[in-house]
Chains A and B, each alone.
Chain A
Amino acid sequence: MLAQSHPGVGASEPSDQQGGQVGVRKLILNNFRNYASVELSVDAAIVVLTGANGAGKTNILEALSFLSPGRGLRNSHLGEVTHRVKQCENLVQNSSDGWSVRVHLTNTNGPVEIGTGLASADRAKRTILINDLPARSQNDLANEVGIVWMTPDMDRLFHDSSGQRRRFLDRLVYGFDTQHAARITAYTKTIRERARLLKARRAGAPTDTAWLSALEDTAAQQGIAVAAARRDIIQRLNGALGEGELVDRQNEHRQALPGVRITLVGKVDGWLESCPAAEAEDKFRTALELERNSDAAAGRTETGPHRSDLETTHLTQNCAAVRCSTGEQKAILLAMVLAYAEILSHALPASPIMLLDEATAHLDSRRRIALFARLIAYPGQVWMTGTDLAPFAPLSNSVSTLTQISVLRGPVLHFEVEDGQIIPISNP
Chain B
Amino acid sequence: MAAPEIEHLIRLLTRLPGLGPRSARRLALHLMRHRAQLLDPLAAALTEAGRVLTECGTCGNIDTRNPCVVCTDPERDAGLICIVEDVADLWAMERSGAYRGCYHVLGGTLSALDGKGPEELKIPILVSRARESAREVVLATSATVAGQTTAHYITELLAKAQVTVTQIAHGVPVGGELDYLDDGTLMAAMKARHKV
Taken together as a complex, chains A and B put the C-alpha atoms of A16 and B112 apart, in Å, by: 53
Taken together as a complex, chains A and B put the C-alpha atoms of A214 and B118 apart, in Å, by: 12
A193's nearest neighbour on chain B, judged by CB, is B112
With A210-B157, A211-B118 as given contacts, are A196 and B112 in contact (CB-CB < 8 Å)? yes
Contact with B along A269-283 (1 / 0, CB 8 A): 000000000000000
User: Does more than half of chain B's interface fall in helix, strand or loop, or is it mixed?
Assistant: helix
CB distance from B171 to the nearest CB of A (A): 13
With A192-B113, A200-B112, A213-B156 as given contacts, are A179 and B149 in contact (CB-CB < 8 Å)? no
Of B48-56, B74-82, B130-138, B180-188, which binds chain A? B180-188
Contact with A along B182-196 (1 / 0, CB 8 A): 111011100000000
With A193-B113, A197-B112 as given contacts, are A215 and B149 in contact (CB-CB < 8 Å)? yes
Contact indicator B149/A3 (Cβ below 8 Å): no
CB distance from A111 to the nearest CB of B (A): 25
B153 within 8 A of A: yes
- Report B-chain residues with C-beta under 8 Å of the C-beta of A214: 110, 149-150, 152-153, 156
Contact with A along B34-49 (1 / 0, CB 8 A): 0000000000000000
Taken together as a complex, chains A and B put the C-alpha atoms of A7 and B111 apart, in Å, by: 32
Contact indicator B112/A218 (Cβ below 8 Å): no
CB distance from A97 to the nearest CB of B (A): 15
Taken together as a complex, chains A and B put the C-alpha atoms of A196 and B112 apart, in Å, by: 6
B66 within 8 A of A: no
Contact indicator A1/B150 (Cβ below 8 Å): no
A side interface size, CB within 8 A: 25
A287 within 8 A of B: no
- Report A-chain residues with C-beta under 8 Å of the C-beta of B187: 1-2
Within 8 A of B (CB), among A169-198: 179, 186, 189-190, 192-194, 196-197
Taken together as a complex, chains A and B put the C-alpha atoms of A215 and B146 apart, in Å, by: 9
Contact indicator B184/A179 (Cβ below 8 Å): yes
Taken together as a complex, chains A and B put the C-alpha atoms of A388 and B184 apart, in Å, by: 49
B117 within 8 A of A: yes
With A3-B183, A196-B113, A211-B118 as given contacts, are A218 and B145 in contact (CB-CB < 8 Å)? yes
Contact indicator B156/A210 (Cβ below 8 Å): yes
- Report B-chain residues with C-beta under 8 Å of the C-beta of A179: 182-184
Contact indicator A218/B113 (Cβ below 8 Å): no
- Report A-chain residues with C-beta under 8 Å of the C-beta of B113: 189, 192-193, 196
A208 within 8 A of B: yes
Contact indicator B152/A217 (Cβ below 8 Å): yes
A8's nearest neighbour on chain B, judged by CB, is B183
CB distance from A11 to the nearest CB of B (A): 12
- Report B-chain residues with C-beta under 8 Å of the C-beta of A196: 112-113
Contact indicator B117/A208 (Cβ below 8 Å): yes
User: Does more than half of chain A's interface fall in helix, strand or loop, or is it mixed?
Assistant: helix
Contact of A186 (CB < 8 Å), options: B118, B145, B156, B186: B145
With A179-B184, A190-B145, A192-B113 as given contacts, are A208 and B118 in contact (CB-CB < 8 Å)? yes
Taken together as a complex, chains A and B put the C-alpha atoms of A3 and B183 apart, in Å, by: 9
B side interface size, CB within 8 A: 20
A222 within 8 A of B: yes
B188's nearest neighbour on chain A, judged by CB, is A1
Contact indicator B149/A190 (Cβ below 8 Å): yes
Taken together as a complex, chains A and B put the C-alpha atoms of A218 and B156 apart, in Å, by: 14
B142 within 8 A of A: no
Taken together as a complex, chains A and B put the C-alpha atoms of A211 and B113 apart, in Å, by: 13
Taken together as a complex, chains A and B put the C-alpha atoms of A214 and B145 apart, in Å, by: 11
Taken together as a complex, chains A and B put the C-alpha atoms of A213 and B113 apart, in Å, by: 16
- Report A-chain residues with C-beta under 8 Å of the C-beta of B118: 208, 211
A3's nearest neighbour on chain B, judged by CB, is B183
Contact indicator B149/A218 (Cβ below 8 Å): yes
With A193-B112, A193-B113 as given contacts, are A218 and B152 in contact (CB-CB < 8 Å)? yes
- Report B-chain residues with C-beta under 8 Å of the C-beta of A202: none
Taken together as a complex, chains A and B put the C-alpha atoms of A215 and B152 apart, in Å, by: 9
CB distance from B109 to the nearest CB of A (A): 11
Contact indicator A218/B148 (Cβ below 8 Å): yes
Taken together as a complex, chains A and B put the C-alpha atoms of A214 and B158 apart, in Å, by: 13
- Report B-chain residues with C-beta under 8 Å of the C-beta of A323: none
29 A-B residue pairings within 8 Å (CB atoms): A1-B184, A1-B187, A1-B188, A3-B183, A6-B183, A7-B186, A8-B183, A179-B183, A179-B184, A186-B145, A190-B149, A192-B113, A193-B110, A193-B111, A193-B112, A196-B112, A196-B113, A208-B118, A211-B117, A211-B118, A211-B153, A213-B156, A214-B152, A214-B153, A217-B149, A217-B152, A218-B145, A218-B148, A218-B149
10 further contact pairs, Cβ within 8 A, besides A200-B112, A213-B156, A222-B145: A1-B188, A8-B183, A186-B145, A189-B145, A192-B113, A193-B110, A194-B112, A211-B117, A214-B150, A215-B149
